[in-house]
Chain A
Amino acid sequence: MGKDLVIKTLRHETVEQVPWVPFAGVHAGKLKGYTAEEVLTDGDKLFESLMEVHRLYVPDGMTTMFDLQVEAEILGCDLLWAKDNPPSVKSHPLANEKIIPCRCEIPDENSGRLPMILEVMNRIHREIGEDVALYGLICGPFTLASHLRGTGIFMDMISDPDYVTNLIEFCGEVACKMAEMYIDAGMEVIAVVDPLVSQISPKHIDKLLAPSFTNVFEFIRSKGAYSNFFVCGNATKQIESMCKMSPDGVSVDENVDMVKAKKITDQYNIAIGGNIPLTTTMLYGTQQDNMKGVIDLLDSMDHKNLIISPGCDMPYDTPIENTIAAAQAVKTPEAVREMIKNYESVSFADIEIEIPEYDKMDKVLIEIFTLDPDQCAACTYMVNVVSDNYEAIKDISEYRVYKYNIKKDIARTMKMGLTNLPTMCVDGEQKWISLIPSKEELIEVITQAYKKKTNK
C-alpha cells in the first residue's frame, strides 16, 4: 500500500519502493476546472479536486490544502486572492505595533476557513485515508511571524531579538493548535511549511527559531503523527540547523542540491523529499523532461529516507501529463528508463508506419496513445472509458490502443506528432490530452464525428 511507503520512510525504515508525494495545491483545482480561489474556499470543490489528484496521480502521500495564509487570515492579515495562485498576504497587523497577539486569538475549529478545511480533511480521510498518507499543511512559525509583522521582522532579529523570540513562541503555539486540529481530522503527516527559513543564518535559526520549532515537532510526535519540515529557496546552509530540530522529514526545492543535502539528513537519520523543478521541468518542460528528472533523482541517491516530490506547491497550470509522467517514473523506473532511451533514440525514423486514411474508413477511428495502460493510472482510465462504453458506440467506431514501450507504437506516436501521453485521437485529431472524458462526452464526440463522416 502506498501509504505504508510514506509512513515507513518517515519512520526511517527501508522500503521496497521510493514514495511519491505530489504537492497539488491550487493545481488540484485545474484538474476539475476550478480556480485557485474556488478550491481554497469551497469545500465541495476542494474535495472533488483532491479526489481527482488521487485518481490521476496515484500518490502514496498527498497534501490536502496548500495555503500558508490560513492562519494569517485568521490573525488579521488581509489577503490578495488570485485565480491561479494561493492568496498573498497584503497587510501585516503588527507592522506598526510591536506587540504579541493575545493567546485568545489562537485559532480554534470555528476560526476563518477552518470549518471548511476540517470538514474536507475528515471526508478525504474517510474516502482514501486507508490508502494514502494525508498531509495537513500548517504555516511555519517564522513565516507566520513575518506575515504578522511584515519585513520589520528581519530588522527585529538584530535590533530586538527578544521580541522575535516571543512572537515566534506565539506562532509556535498557533502551529501546535493547527497541527492538533488537523491530526484530529485524520491527517497523518503534518507539514510545517516555512519558506522564509532559507533567508536567515543558521546562527539565527539556532538561537531564535529552534526552541519553538522543536516544540512543534515534538508536539506532532506526541499526538502520534509524523512531521515534515518544508522550506523553499536555497536552504543548503540551513539544512543542518533544520535537522537539529528533529522533524521526521525535510522537503526542499530545486534551489538545493538534494544529493548534498541528503548526505546531511542521512547523518541525522531524517527523511528528505524533493525536488522536481517546478517551473523549468514541471510547468514548462515536456513529459520526457519530467521522466528524466525523476529518474536522475532516483539514480543519484540512496533510496532509504527518500521521498520524490515536486520542489514545492505545483504551479496551477502544470500540464497534467507532466505530473503523470513524473508519477510513472517513480512507480515504474525501469519501464520509464526504457521509454527515455526510446525517446532519445533516432532509429524510429526507419520504422515504416502507415497512418490510416481516416476519411475513407467507414467507422470513426479512436486511437489511444498511452505510456503503458497497465501501469499508468491515467492511461488505464482513458482506455477504460472507451472499452467500458464501447457497446454504445461499437456500430459507429473502432478503437486501437498504442503503448510507448513498443517500438512500432513509439514510431506511430512520433509520426502523429504527439508529445504528451495519454492522448486520445478521434479520426486522427487530438481530442483529449491527459484528461479523461466522461461517458457522455465520449459518446457525443464520437457520434458527431460519425455524422460528419457520413454526411460527406
Chain B
Amino acid sequence: MSKELILEKAKTSILEADEDLALEALKEAEDTGVNLLELLSDGFSAGMKELGDLFGSGEVFLPELMFSTEVMKVATAEIEGKMDVKDVKPKGVMVIGTVEGDVHDIGKGIVASLIKTNGVTVHDLGREVPAKVFVEKVKEFNADFLGSSALLTTTMTEQKKIEELLAKEGLKGKVKTLVGGAPVTKRWADRIGADAYCEDASEAVNTLLGWIGNL
C-alpha cells in the first residue's frame, strides 16, 4: 500500500472515529516503513484538524468530536510507545483551565484534547482555577500559551485578573493568552488585553498553529 493511501486511511480513521482502522493504518505504516512522525502529523493530526474545522462550521457535533479525540489519543499513545520520546519535539507548551468559581469544563476539555493532538504539550489545570495558579503554572512549565475558559458572565472577570497578574509578573507578551467560553467575545478579549478570543476548539487550534508558525 502506498504512503498516500496509509496517510489517508489514518485520516479517515479519525474522521470516522474508527479505532480499528487507526491501528490498521499504524501497522501498515510500520510494515511499509512509513515514518511514524509523518503518519502522526500528516495522517492522524490532519484528520483531527479537518474534524475540528467541521466542528467549527457545525457539520460535526460534540459526541463525534469527543469520540474521535479518544481514537486520536490511542493512536498518539501507540506511536509514542514505538518511538524514542526525544524524536517528538513539542511545538509549544500550554496551560489551560476553567477559571475560579466556574465548574464548566466540557469545552475546555475539548480544546485541551484538540490542541494536544496538534503536538503542543498541554497542562490541563482543571476547573475552578484561581488566577494566581494560572500564573504560577505558566512560570513552572515555562508555558508559551495560557488558555482560560469562563462560562458565566460573573466568572469572566477572572480572565481580566489573569491578564493583570501576568502584567504584574512581567509575563505579558512572553506568554500568549487565549480566552473562550459562552459569554466571552472578541470585544471582551480586547477590553482585558488578551491576545485572542477563540469561539471554539477549532479556532483555538488554528490560532495556536498560526502563532507557532510565526515563532
Contacts and interface: CB of A to CB of B under 8 A. Distances in A.
Contacts of B104: 88
Contacts of A84: 154
A84 B153 CA distance: 9
Interface residues of B, number: 25
Sort chain A's interface into a size bin: 20 to 34
B61 A201 contact: yes
B188 to A, nearest CB: 8
A84 B60 CA distance: 34
Contacts of A200: 61-63
Interface string A80-115: 101111001110000000000000000000000000
Interface stretch (A121-129, A149-157, A415-423): A149-157
Interface in B33-82: 58, 60-64, 66-67, 70
A316 B154 contact: yes
Interface in B100-139: 101-104, 106, 109, 128
B58 A151 contact: no
Contacts of B106: 151, 154
B47 to A, nearest CB: 16
Contacts of A155: 63, 66-67, 70
A278 interface: yes
Given A89-B103, A233-B182, A279-B183, A154 B153 contact: no
Nearest to A208: B63
A154 B66 contact: yes
Contacts of B67: 154-155, 158-159
A232 to B, nearest CB: 8
A84 B152 CA distance: 10
B103 A88 contact: yes
A54 to B, nearest CB: 24
A158 B102 CA distance: 28
B187 A85 contact: no
Considering residues A154, A204, A236, A280, which has the most beta carbons from chain B within 10 angstroms of its beta carbon?
Answer: A154
Nearest to A161: B63
A442 interface: no
A84 B62 CA distance: 29
Given A279-B185, A315-B154, A158 B63 contact: yes
Interface in B152-193: 152-155, 182-183, 185, 187
B103 A80 contact: yes
B7 interface: no
B61 A278 contact: no
A214 interface: no
A82 to B, nearest CB: 6
Interface string A161-205: 000000000000000000000000000000000000001110010
A8 interface: no
A234 interface: yes
A57 B50 CA distance: 47
B197 to A, nearest CB: 13
Contacts of A82: 101, 152, 154
A189 B146 CA distance: 44
A401 interface: no
A17 to B, nearest CB: 30
B153 A315 contact: yes
Given A82-B154, A158-B63, A200-B62, 15 more contacts: A84-B154, A85-B154, A88-B104, A151-B109, A154-B106, A157-B63, A199-B61, A201-B60, A201-B61, A201-B63, A201-B64, A236-B58, A280-B185, A280-B187, A315-B154
14 contacts: A82-B101, A88-B104, A88-B152, A90-B103, A151-B66, A154-B67, A158-B17, A158-B67, A200-B61, A201-B60, A204-B61, A279-B183, A280-B185, A283-B153
Interface of B: 17, 58, 60-64, 66-67, 70, 101-104, 106, 109, 128, 152-155, 182-183, 185, 187
